[in-house]
Amino acid sequence: MLASALAVELMVSVLQHPMRGEAPALIVSGRGDEYTDAVDEDTETALGLVPHQIRGFLSRFQQLMITSERFTQCSACSRAIINAYDDNGFEFLLQAFNDSQYVERLTGLTELHNETQLHDIWVLSDDSDDGGEQ
């Protein structure tokens, strides 16, 4: 229930913001316990801030609003996904629903996974030239 309540709050915050899904994030900067909120007119609205991510910890009853740069291969907000949806609309959704690898291929995540696996193989390979003798 907590997750669904947060999802509704987030949806309402995004929908009421003039910039919708392009609403800027709150940037919190500081050292130690001293934080300053860099809130400008584009960031805050009548319903408050539009968080980009909400991470919750039930063990501590704590929520954090996390801000980071957009991951270029994000399966939700990357430019490739947004452009594909803008160009193809419902057809994009159908293809994503019917082909479990479509979004990964579109964003480049498949290539990233393959590169990572090749790197792991290279790191874990036996690079000794002694023919197995110790």
- Per-residue pLDDT tens digits for 108-129: 999 988 888 766 666 666 555 5
Nearest-angstrom CA–CA distance, 26 and 53:
11
Nearest-angstrom CA–CA distance, 55 and 57:
7
Tell which of 65, 87, 112 closes a domain. 65
Q: Are residues 84 and 57 in the same domain?
A: no
In a domain? residue 71: no
Bridge partners for 35 per DSSP: 30
DSSP state of 62: E
The SS3 call for residue 40 is: coil
Q: Are residues 85 and 118 in the same domain?
A: yes
Domain residues for the domain of 88 are 79-124
Q: Are residues 15 and 46 in the same domain?
A: yes
What size, in residues, is the chain? 134
Say what the pLDDT of residue 35 is.
47
In a domain? residue 61: yes
Nearest-angstrom CA–CA distance, 116 and 125:
14
Q: Are residues 12 and 48 in the same domain?
A: yes
Say what the pLDDT of residue 86 is.
96
In a domain? residue 90: yes
Q: Are residues 19 and 48 in the same domain?
A: yes
Say what the pLDDT of residue 41 is.
58
Say what the pLDDT of residue 47 is.
76
Q: Which residues contact 110 (CB under 8 A, 6 or more apart)?
A: 101, 104
What does the block give as tokens for 100?
A: 């479990």
In a domain? residue 133: no
Mean pLDDT value of segment 58-85: 88
In a domain? residue 106: yes
pLDDT digits (tens, 9 = 90+) for 12-70: 888 888 888 788 877 666 554 444 555 555 566 777 778 878 888 889 988 888 877 77
Say what the pLDDT of residue 123 is.
63
In a domain? residue 70: no
Element (H, E) at 37: strand 34-38
Tell which of 65, 96, 115 closes a domain. 65
Say what the pLDDT of residue 127 is.
58
Alpha helices in 1-134 (DSSP H): 2-16, 79-88, 90-98, 102-107, 109-124
The SS3 call for residue 118 is: helix
pLDDT digits (tens, 9 = 90+) for 86-103: 999 999 999 999 999 999
Band (pLDDT 50/70/90 cuts) for residue 3 is confident
Q: Are residues 6 and 53 in the same domain?
A: yes
Q: Out of 10-19, 70-79, 125-134, pick the least confident.
A: 125-134
Tell which of 65, 87, 104 closes a domain. 65
Nearest-angstrom CA–CA distance, 38 and 29:
8
Average pLDDT of the chain?
Answer: 79
What does the block give as tokens for 111?
A: 């290539």
